[in-house]
Amino acid sequence: MQRSHNVTMLGTGLIGLFYTMTLHGQRGRDRVRAVYSRTAERAQAFASEWDIAFATSDMAAAIRHPDTDTVVIGLPNHLHEKAVRLSAEAGKAVLCTKPLARTGAEAKRILDIAESAGIFAGYLEDLVYTPKTLKALASVARGALGDVLWVRSRETHSGPHSDWFWDLDQAGGGAIIDLGCHCIEIIRSFIGKGIRPVEVTCWADTLVHPITAEDNAIGLIRFANGAIGQFEVSWSFRGGMDLRDEVAGTKGTIWLNHFLRTGFEMFTSGDGGYVAEKAEQDTGWLFPVGDEVSELGYVDMFTDMFNAMDQGRAPRESFYDGYVVNAVIDACYKSARTKQWEPVLIEDWRGQTDARPVTGMKEEIDGMQLVKREHMPDGRIKLILRDKGSGKVVQRFEDA
């Protein structure tokens, strides 16, 4: 049975706004009933704008409000643990934005708090819920790509919009913790969340901004079945927000572009208005995003979270997923320092322990292993074959 849910929204910044726009946007049955912000004035202004009955600058009072059953955390990273603890004490369902925490240890504490309280806990990783990603994941699950070998996920923009992101203590890191967390969960989703991330190698540097955290990074994650994940993140990319994923499998390929080339291109010499998050211009050639909260996955994400609560099942994205992501990020930071492959340390692995290696080519022709078959410009089919005994590689034409 579908129930309507009453939400305490913690935070009235960018994500608090996107979440509230999503919940109140399309005549949905779930509503924000209480809102917390750092100042009473901001909380009240947000409440008036979104028709929310209770506004406060007291986080605990917002969480305990008797009219709400679910707490949504849209606060800076260093406040997630406190907000989850207060929600658990209040016995309410809790949905926490990404990253779950600043470190794997903090994420594990958050996971333990929620699990020992027995409350529903969902990880708000919107980018695995974009309509394109959901359809792509369904294709992969159907076997359309064969075995997934390599997933590349890229998120880059010119840098975050608030002071606390740039502060290592409050954020826990730079572009990796902020953007890499999305990429890592996208990669896990395509490779299979039951496949263990084993080790990582990562380059990170502070190239542009006067900060201590990294503003650019690239990481490789090796999974137990041999598949590889590649993330690319930047806080200094110019030209908007570049959100792209590529999935390569033994039978197929998927390319996803979520933001800059979505099929909507506009030129104006006048005023383009609000174009999309992190767009750097509102004149000239523009790449507007139609319905941002839908295209970024927020609509399907909240639908899954509330449906999961009503159906007594786990959501697609759980606090455990958030913890695994933080564990991968910890290994990335270590690898960036040591310049070595570093193991991903997961205290409590719940996935497969005997992952089947990705399947290589198995076809044989006349007792030889097929390496490659190619249709040549002259119409003939060329075969590259390997002799199993000698290892010698030869070529011939199929009809020869």
Ligand X SMILES: NC(=O)c1ccc[n+]([C@@H]2O[C@H](COP(=O)([O-])OP(=O)(O)OC[C@H]3O[C@@H](n4cnc5c(N)ncnc54)[C@H](O)[C@@H]3O)[C@@H](O)[C@H]2O)c1
Of residues 50, 71, 74, 179, which one binds ligand X by CB under 6 A?
74
C-alpha of 97 from chain center: 10
Among candidate residues 371, 352, 347, the one with its CA nearest the CA of residue 361: 371
Write down the least CB distance from residue 13 to ligand X, Å.
2
The total of other beta-carbon atoms located within 10 Å of residue 29's CB is 10
CA gap 398, 375 in Å, rounded: 10
Tokens representing 4? 């309507």
Q: Report the residue number, 76 or 197, with the smaller CB distance to ligand X.
A: 76
Write down the least CB distance from residue 77 to ligand X, Å.
5
Check binding of 122 to ligand X (CB under 6 A): no
CA gap 153, 201 in Å, rounded: 15
Among candidate residues 220, 176, 186, 201, the one with its CA nearest the CA of residue 296: 186
Check binding of 107 to ligand X (CB under 6 A): no
Write down the least CB distance from residue 195 to ligand X, Å.
24
Check binding of 68 to ligand X (CB under 6 A): no
Residue nearest to ligand X (CB): 13
Residue range at the interface with ligand X (CB under 6 A); choices 8-16, 136-144, 246-254, 367-375? 8-16
Phi, psi for 201 (deg, rounded to 5): -130, 140
Q: Report the residue number, 62 or 113, with the smaller CB distance to ligand X.
A: 62
Is 83 in contact with 96 (CB distance < 8 Å)? yes
Write down the least CB distance from residue 34 to ligand X, Å.
14
Check binding of 75 to ligand X (CB under 6 A): yes
Task: Identify the H or E element spanning 191.
Answer: helix 181-191
Packing angle of the helix pair 131-142, 181-191 (nearest 10 deg): 30
The total of other beta-carbon atoms located within 10 Å of residue 284's CB is 10
Write down the least CB distance from residue 269 to ligand X, Å.
31
CA gap 63, 71 in Å, rounded: 6
Of residues 2, 3, 26, 38, which one binds ligand X by CB under 6 A?
38
Q: Report the residue number, 35 or 247, with the smaller CB distance to ligand X.
A: 35
Q: Report the residue number, 170 or 236, with the smaller CB distance to ligand X.
A: 170
Tokens representing 36? 């917390």
Of residues 87, 97, 158, 225, which one binds ligand X by CB under 6 A?
97
Of residues 126, 214, 232, 321, which one binds ligand X by CB under 6 A?
126
Letters for 286-315 (x = contact with ligand X by CB under 6 A, - = none) are: ------------------------------
Check binding of 14 to ligand X (CB under 6 A): yes
Write down the least CB distance from residue 117 to ligand X, Å.
21
Judged by DSSP in three states, 121 sits in strand
Of residues 92, 98, 102, 278, which one binds ligand X by CB under 6 A?
98
Write out the DSSP string of 198-251.
Answer: EEEEEEEE--SSSSSS-SEEEEEEEETTS-EEEEEEES---SS-EEEEEEEESS
Check binding of 12 to ligand X (CB under 6 A): yes
Is 55 in contact with 35 (CB distance < 8 Å)? yes
Write down the least CB distance from residue 176 to ligand X, Å.
12
CA gap 310, 341 in Å, rounded: 43
Of residues 45, 89, 117, 164, which one binds ligand X by CB under 6 A?
164
Size of the site for ligand X (CB under 6 A): 19
CA gap 218, 203 in Å, rounded: 5
Residue range at the interface with ligand X (CB under 6 A); choices 14-22, 143-151, 186-194, 382-390? 14-22
Write down the least CB distance from residue 85 to ligand X, Å.
15
Distances (CA, A) of 309 to 160, 198, 283, 314, 373: 32, 32, 44, 8, 50
Q: Report the residue number, 80 or 196, with the smaller CB distance to ligand X.
A: 80
Check binding of 174 to ligand X (CB under 6 A): no
The total of other beta-carbon atoms located within 10 Å of residue 378's CB is 7
Check binding of 11 to ligand X (CB under 6 A): yes
Binding site for ligand X (CB under 6 A): 11-16, 37-38, 74-77, 79, 97-98, 124, 126, 162, 164
